[in-house]
Amino acid sequence: MRPHDPETVFAVYVALLQHIPQKEIAARHGISLGSVSNINRGRRHPEITSVPSLNAALATMACTGTP
């Protein structure tokens, strides 16, 4: 399994928080359903999806105005 860039992981995690079906998220971002599941379960990329990391990313987005 190849590593995903932080932007993709963050977008997947945000989509999961919005209750978008995992199958749709995988198709939308061109990644496997297993990758989406691993991100959802915290088995992969906790450095991006943990609460402190997520809060830092949201704060950065708010300050810079990036989506």
Count CB neighbours of 50 within 10 A.
12
Cα 50–Cα 28–Cα 16 angle in degrees, nearest 5: 30
Give a yes or no: residue 51 inside a domain. yes
In tens, the pLDDT along 25-35 reads 999 999 999 99
Band (pLDDT 50/70/90 cuts) for residue 20 is very high
In a domain, 13, yes or no: yes
> Mean per-residue pLDDT for 51-58?
68
Average of per-residue pLDDT across 33-43: 88
Range of the domain at 24: 6-64
Domain membership flag for residue 55 = yes
Tally the domains of the chain: 1
Q: Is residue 12 part of a domain?
A: yes
Phi and psi at residue 15, in whole multiples of 5°? -60, -40
Q: What is the pLDDT of residue 51?
A: 66
Other beta carbons less than 10 A from residue 8's beta carbon: 17
- Which tokens go with 27? 């198709």
**In a domain? residue 46:** yes
> Does residue 1 sit within a domain?
no
Give this prediction's pTM. 0.69
